[in-house]
A and B are shown apart, each in its own frame.
Chain A
Amino acid sequence: MIAVSATRAATTPKLPRLRAPLLFGMLLALFALLAARSLYLQWIDNAFLQEQGSSRYSRDLEVPAHRGRILDRFGEPLAISTPVKAIWAWPEKVEATPGQLQALAAALDLPPSALAAKLDEGDDFVYLKRAVAPEVAAGIAALGIKGVHDDDEYRRYYPSGEVMSHILGFTGDRDVGQEGIELAQQAWLGGTPGGRRVIINRRGEVVEDVANIRSPREGRDLALSIDSRLQYLAYRELKGAVESNKAKAGGLVILDARTGEILALANLPSYNPNNRTRVARERMRNRALTDIFEPGSTLKPFTIAAALEAGKVQPSSVIDTAPGTLTIGKATIHDAHREGVLTVEQVVQKSSNVGAAQIALSLPPERMWSTLSGAGFGAPLKSGFPGEVSGRLRPAKSWRPIEQATMAYGHGISVNLVQLARAYTVFATDGELKPVTLFKEAGPVAGPPVLKAETARAVRHMLEMVVMPGGTAPRAQVPGYRVAGKTGTAHKLEGGTYINKFVASFVGFAPASSPRLIIAVMIDEPSGGQYYGGTVAAPVFSSVMGAALRLLGVPTDAPISSILPPAEAAEVQEET
C-alpha cells in the first residue's frame, strides 16, 4: 500500500507553489465578505429587514375615542355619537358584475344611475355614502366587490331634533363641533384617538400588548342647565304663538331665578340638526343670544328703579301725563292713550311713555346709566355661546335729553333676549343680578347686588299690578300663582327710522311671593292683526309659566279660582 501511494505521489505533477494559499485567501475573503454583509445588515442598514420582520407579527392599532354626550340637567341625552360606516370606492379598481352593482345600489338606497355617476366622478377616491348603519355596511362587505371599502366614523344624533337645535348646534365632518355648544365646548367633548402596538398570531388575534403609543382621551360628557321638559314646552307654545300671529321669528327664555341657569331657550324658525341638507343659514341662528333688538317698555321698570334709588320719586308719587304727549326739542313722545294723572306705580302698570320719560328726565344721565349698566345692559353676557352679542348702551356723556327720554321706555338701547331676562333677576331677587349660564349649577348662585332690597320689592309690586285688571297684561295671569311682569311693544327700526312693524315682548316671573322662574318672550313682527305685547306675548308667558310651575311642583301662592278671564278684564293697550 505504501509503495502504491508512493508511486502515485511520484506520478502527480507538482502543484504551483502559490495555489493553496491563494485559494485559501480567496475563501477567507469571501467569508469576510459574508461576515461584513451580515454585520452591515445586523447593525447598520437594519431598518428595512427589521420592518419586514416586525410586519409579520406586530401591528399598530388605533384605539378609538368617543365624543362625549351632551345631557340635560337630569341626565337625559341630548346628543349622542354612535359609530357608523362610510362606504367609499376606488373607481379605477372596481370590478363588479351588473348584478353586484344593483345589489350595492339597493343596499345604499341609491338609484343605480346615481351610483354609476358617483363611480364615474373620480379615479382614486369617492365616497359612495356616509353614515351608513353598521349592519348595512356588513351586508355590503359580504357582496365582496373589489375596490369598495368601508371606514369607521361617528355620527352624532340629536333625539330632540328641532326643539333643541339652536342651543346644541351640530357637528360636521369627523364629528367636530361646528355650531352652538358643540362648537363652544369642542375641547371638552371631543376625544382624541390613541394608538397601541401589539403582537398578533397567525390567525390575526392579538396575543400581546407591546407598547402604548398614545393613550386615547375619551370625550367627556357635558351636563347643560337645560330641562328638556321645559324646553319642549317652551318650543311648543312659542311655535303656536309664532304661527297664529304670522310672526317672522320668536324667542323664549326660561331662567332659574335662584341660580341664573338657563332652563330653556327656544327660537323660531328652527331646523332639524339630524337632517341639515338645504337648511338656510338664517334658520340656524340662535336669535335669543345672537340678535339684538330694542326692548321697548320692558325697560321701564329699570328707569323707575333708578329714580327710586336716587330718591327722586316714591311709588305713590304723582305724575301728570296729560295730555298724553311730551315735546322735547323737535321730537314728541306719545302715549297709546291719554291717562292724565298717574302714580309712579300706575306709570308701570299702564305703561305710560310720557310718565316714564318725565321720571327719566328728573334723573342725571349718569345715575340712569349706572342702573341700566348694573342690570347688565350693554355688557357681554359671558354665556360662552359662540356669536353672542352684548347689545348697546351708549355712555351717559353722549346722551341728549330726547335720547334719555326715549331710553326710559326702551328705545335707543339694544339688548338680546337672554340679557333682558337676566336683567329681571334684579327684581326677582332682592336686587341681585344673577350670572346666566348654560351649564348645570350645584346650588344657588350669588350675583352682585345692583339695587337696594326695598327698591327691588317696590318694583316687584308694580310688576304685579301689570297683570291685574287695569294693567297692560291681564292675559299673563297664571291660575294659582301670583305673577309679575312687564309688556313691551316696540316699533322696529329700519334704515334709521321707526316703522310700523313691531316686536311684542313680555318678561315676567312667578310666583311673585318667592320667584322661581323668569320667562322672557319675544315675538318678532306679529302680523296676524294683533301686535301688543299684552295680547301676543303675554298669553305665551302665561301658558308656559303655568305648565312649568306645575311640572316643577312649585307650591301655589294664590287661590286657584281668583283669575279673571282675559276677555272680561280691563285691558290697557300700550305702544313701546
Chain B
Amino acid sequence: MVKLNLLLLAALVFCALSLVTSRHQARKLFVELEREQKLARTYDVEFGQLQLEQSTWAMPARIESIAREQLKMQLPRPGRIQVVDGSSR
C-alpha cells in the first residue's frame, strides 16, 4: 500500500512538473509567434510602400520621358513601318 502511494506521489510530482514546463514552453512559443506576427505586419507595410515606390518609378509619364530624352527613341513614321504577317509563318 505504501509502495503504491509513493509511486502515485512520484507520478503526481512528475505530472505537475511537466505541466509547469509545458506551460512555460507554450508561453515562450506564443511570445515568439507574437513577434513573428508583428514582423509579418511590418513586412506587409513595407511591401505596400515598395509597391507604391515601384509604381511611382514605373509611371508611364516617366518611362516615356526617359525613352524620348535619354534613349532618344521615337515613333517611326507610317512610311517606315513594315507589317509582318504572322499567319504565313
Contact = CB atoms under 8 A, between A and B. Distances in A.
Interface of A: 66, 69, 76-77, 80-83, 157, 159-160, 163, 201, 205-209, 228-229, 232-233, 236, 479-480, 555-556, 560-561, 563
Contacts of A561: 78-79
Contacts of A479: 78, 81
Contact of B78 (A77, A157, A236, A560): A560
A565 B81 CA distance: 16
A201 B28 CA distance: 11
A158 to B, nearest CB: 9
A77 B60 CA distance: 13
A281 to B, nearest CB: 26
B48 A159 contact: no
Interface residues of B, number: 22
B59 interface: yes
Interface in B65-83: 78-79, 81-83
Contacts of B83: 480, 556, 560
B30 A236 contact: no
B78 A228 contact: no
Given A80-B51, A236-B61, 13 more contacts: A76-B55, A81-B48, A82-B48, A83-B45, A159-B55, A205-B31, A207-B31, A209-B30, A232-B59, A232-B61, A233-B60, A560-B82, A563-B78
Contacts of B27: 201, 207-208
B71 to A, nearest CB: 18
B48 A480 contact: no
B19 interface: no
Contacts of B52: 77, 80, 82, 157, 159
Contacts of B59: 159-160, 232
B30 A206 contact: yes
A82 B80 CA distance: 47
Contacts of B58: 76
Contact of A229 (B31, B45, B56, B60): B60
Contacts of B36: none
Contacts of A556: 83
B61 A206 contact: no
A163 B60 CA distance: 10
A77 B58 CA distance: 11
A206 B78 contact: no
Instruction: For the complex of A and B, list the 9 residue pairs with the smallest distance between their C-beta atoms, beginning with the closest.
Output: A232-B60, A479-B78, A159-B55, A207-B27, A206-B34, A82-B48, A560-B81, A159-B56, A205-B31
Contacts of B51: 77, 80
B49 interface: yes
Nearest to B86: A555
A382 to B, nearest CB: 30
A228 B30 contact: no
A25 to B, nearest CB: 44
A205 B31 CA distance: 7
B55 A77 contact: yes
A207 B30 contact: yes
Interface string B29-58: 011001000000000110011011001101
A68 to B, nearest CB: 11
Given A556-B83, A563-B78, A208 B49 contact: no
A205 B51 CA distance: 31
Contacts of B55: 76-77, 159-160
A287 B82 CA distance: 40
B48 to A, nearest CB: 5
23 contacts: A66-B44, A77-B51, A82-B45, A82-B48, A82-B49, A82-B52, A159-B52, A159-B55, A159-B59, A160-B59, A205-B31, A205-B34, A206-B34, A207-B30, A208-B30, A232-B59, A233-B60, A556-B83, A560-B81, A560-B82, A560-B83, A561-B78, A563-B78
Contacts of B81: 479-480, 560
A160 B30 CA distance: 42
A143 to B, nearest CB: 23
